Amino acid sequence: MNPKTGKRVLAAGYAPATIAHNLSAVHGFYAFHPHFGRGPVLNPVPKNRARLAMLAHRSPLEAPGRHRRGRLRPKVSVRQPRAIPDAQWEELFTRMRCARDRAPLACYVSSGARATELLGVGLADVDWRKGRLWVVREVPPQLGSG
pLDDT tens string 86-101 = 888 888 888 988 888 8
Q: Does position 16 have pLDDT exceeding 50, yes or no?
A: yes
Within-domain flag for 42? yes
Mean predicted confidence (pLDDT) in 112-120: 82
**Nearest CA-CA partner of 21 in 76, 69, 59, 62:** 76
Q: How confident is the model at residue 19 (pLDDT cuts 50, 70, 90)?
A: very high
Within-domain flag for 7? no
Q: How many CB atoms lie within 10 A of CB 52?
A: 13
- Residue 1: DSSP 8-state: -
Residues 51 and 90 in one domain: no
Mean predicted confidence (pLDDT) in 95-111: 83
Least confident of 4-13, 28-37, 39-48, 133-142: 133-142
Q: How confident is the model at residue 84 (pLDDT cuts 50, 70, 90)?
A: confident
| CA dist 30 → 69, 71, 99 (Å) | 20, 17, 52
Within-domain flag for 124? yes
User: What pLDDT is recorded for position 146?
Assistant: 46
Within-domain flag for 76? no
Within-domain flag for 118? yes
Q: How confident is the model at residue 145 (pLDDT cuts 50, 70, 90)?
A: very low
The string of pLDDT tens digits covering residues 53-79 is 877 877 878 887 777 888 888 888 887
No. of helices (H) and no. of strands (E), the chain: 5, 2
Percent of the residues in the chain that have a pLDDT greater than 90, as a whole number: 6
Within-domain flag for 11? no
Q: State whether residue 133 is helix, strand or coil.
A: strand
How many structural domains is the chain composed of?
2
Within-domain flag for 141? no
Within-domain flag for 96? yes
Q: Does position 45 have pLDDT exceeding 50, yes or no?
A: yes
Domain that holds residue 26: 16-55
